Amino acid sequence: MPQNIRNIAIIAHVDHGKTTLVDAMLRQSGIFRDNQTITERIMDSNDLEKERGITILSKNLSISHGDLKINVVDTPGHADFGGEVERVLKMVDSVLLLVDAFDGPMPQTRFVLKKSLDLGHQPIVVINKIDRPGARPEQVVDMVFDLFCELNADEQQLDFPIVYTNAKAGHATLDPKAPKDNLEDLFQLIGNEVSPPKVDPEAPFQMLVTSIAYNDYLGRIATGKISNGRVSAGQTIAVVKKDGQVTKGRISKLIGFDGLQQIEIQEAVAGDIICIAGFEDVGISETFADAEHPVALPYVAIDEPTLSMNFMVNSSPFAGQEGKYVTSRVIRERLQKELRTNVSLRVEDTDNTDTFKVSGRGELHLSILIENMRREGFELAVSKPEVILRDIDGVSCEPMEFLTIDVPEEHQGTVIEKLGTRKAEMVAMHPMDGINRLEFIIPARGLIGFRTEFLTDTRGTGVMNHTFHEYGPFKGAIPGRKNGVLLALESGETVAYSLFSLQERGILFVNAGVKVYEGMIIGENAKQNDLVVNACKGKKLTNVRASGSDEAIRITTPRTLSLEQALEYIDEDELVEITPTSIRLRKKYLDANERKRYEKTRG
């Protein structure tokens, strides 16, 4: 049985076509009926994944091709979800490294590839989108080879097999000059190049838990690869905790994969990827083992979080009006529930019972959690993201990011100048047909709030990607937001007449007819100081009419900030108020006198 199994993970940068390739493999494996309706990006299962076009959670499926059973893990491409990738790489025996035929390897490709090379995997390189205008597959293969050398790949790993694909059309070929109309070459390559799992079916049962899901009917469901032995439904097995403690229990359900579906099975053998239900207290990186020989497997160490922010109970005048769950108790329960499955997350209590310090791998990692919570009906306020400093050999160190920027030549000078003030160091520049690729090492702090500025400076033509590089010595102060904000003077509803005169003062964030409260941020001031303004003042009515002036009120379309933009925008003395229907910016201290007292203590 293990000889017929191939376990592979697909790794790639965001938007290089991982999920699309998995779709094509599923279609050509004969899993679907001819008349079955199939959506695009089948593996993107939750709403946020479909909306954003990114993979957030790793997912398993199995494809049958002839005698082979190919277990495929679709992994996230964004470095913020690297914790998902690091775990699942322990389940597989090889990886498909998917690279765009135009972009070449990007920073987040580098991050995941390094993890898989360190585990000794022999990657198969897939050059995707060979039909794309400007595709340059030969140069991209050279770039991939250079990346392997940089990451200290051994000789066997450097001799990687290559396949060229157009995932959207479902085509794969070993020679780009001889195109084919199916994925047969890819399936053959997986069968020939990926080694069967190195396992012993006759040894005592062992399985490392690499991911956890929750089901209302079955409870916790643990997924992993059987490293040794075999297991049956209803069997009594042991759980070996990280601290060496052993407990025993009975398997209530044994679940295997058939295509996209999870099916109940009676027995599974070493090498296969399965799910086990019936153990409420099992955690990630713990071992299921034979009840008579409870021996733990080595678990994968996951990189620590680099960014933290405070989640707190919403204390604004509008608290409880739009959300269902508003108290600290329900917020705590929701964060504890998230910890069961989100291994890269950390939650700590603070001195204040209404505030929790939540740490994650990056802004996107935390903003996805916040977005999920607000969709579930939660209402909360969050503070500005802060990097997590570490003391290494007596030196205060901060997380550094490897930043790649593709920018047209005319905007290059502005971008380099802006990054210079944010303590970035340029390490390389690669010209590419009118667009230059710039590579920097920059403190993670320097990237907070930079994306919006970058898109404005490059008129939307620039592309930036970054991934965690290493911890380096603290670089010193980085200038924050240059402009102050416009603050509402009183509670009420905004009036077009007031906003018309206020728009000369800066950029508005609210339209007419929006409810505001004292201390709420309604715009950005053109100057450096904060300005308290009255946006609720209506025009005094008289019997005298001035022809034309009443109709001449024109309000510029306000700037609407997304959740990520709002988190990047706020300063240390500000919060983002998040409800199921609204995202508002506000000062921590709504009362003007309290703000003055706070400024005195800070200054």
Closest to 60 (Cα-Cα) out of 235, 241, 221, 249: 221
The pLDDT value given to residue 577: 92
Dist CA 36 CA 22 (whole Å): 17
Q: Which of 382-396, 424-438, 462-476 has the highest mean pLDDT?
A: 382-396
Does 129 belong to an annotated binding site?
Answer: yes
pLDDT number for residue 240: 85
What is the Cα–Cα distance from 15 to 41, expressed in whole angstroms? 12
The answer to whether residues 464 and 405 touch, using CB atoms and an 8 Å cutoff, is yes
> Cα–Cα–Cα angle for 596, 562, 455, nearest 5°?
100
Q: Give residue 266's Cα distance to chain centre.
A: 36
Q: For all residues of the chain together, what is the average pLDDT?
A: 81
Q: Is 18 annotated as a binding residue?
A: yes
17 marked as binding residue: yes
Confidence (pLDDT) at 36 = 45
406 a known binding residue?
no
| 83 is known to lie in a ligand binding site | no
485: tokens are 């904000």
Taking alpha carbons only, the member of 454, 474, 456, 472 closest to residue 464 is: 454
Task: Give the model's pLDDT for residue 51.
Answer: 47
What does pTM read for this prediction? 0.72
Please tell me the distance from the alpha carbon of residue 61 to that of residue 110, in angstroms, as a whole number. Answer: 25
Q: Is 109 annotated as a binding residue?
A: no
Q: What is the mean pLDDT of residues 309-320?
A: 89
Question: Which is more confident, 75 or 339?
Answer: 339
The CA angle 403-406-411, to the nearest 5 degrees, is: 110
d(CA 126, CA 106): 14
* pLDDT digit string, tens, across residues 570-584: 888 889 999 999 899
CA distance 565 to 451: 8
How many separate helices (H) and strands (E) can be counted in the chain?
Answer: 15, 35
Residue 396, pLDDT > 70, answer: yes
Q: Can you tell me the distance from the alpha carbon of 231 to that of 204, in angstroms, rounded to the nearest whole number?
A: 9
How many angstroms separate the CA atoms of 290 and 231, rounded?
A: 9
Q: What domains can you pick out in the chain, each with its CATH number?
A: 2-193 (3.40.50.300), 206-290 (2.40.30.10), 390-473 (3.30.70.240), 485-602 (2.40.50.250)
pLDDT band with cut points at 50, 70 and 90 for residue 82: low
Residue 589 makes CB contacts below 8 A (sequence gap 6+) with 519, 573, 595, 597, 598
Nearby residues of 550 by Cβ (< 8 Å), 6 or more positions away: none
Pick the more confident residue, 247 or 81: 247
Other beta carbons within 10 Å of 457? 17
CB proximity list for 186: less than 8 A, separation 6 or greater: 25, 126, 163, 165, 172
Confidence of residue 34 (pLDDT cuts 50, 70, 90): very low
Chain segment 11-31, per-residue pLDDT in tens: 877 666 777 887 787 777 665
Is residue 15 annotated as involved in ligand binding? yes
Q: What is the pLDDT of residue 543?
A: 63
Phi then psi for 552, rounded to 5 degrees?
Answer: -85, 0
Handedness of CA 345, 351, 352, 354 (dihedral sign): positive
- Whether the pLDDT of residue 86 is over 80: the answer is no
Give which of 92, 72, 78, 21 is closest to 49, Cα–Cα.
78
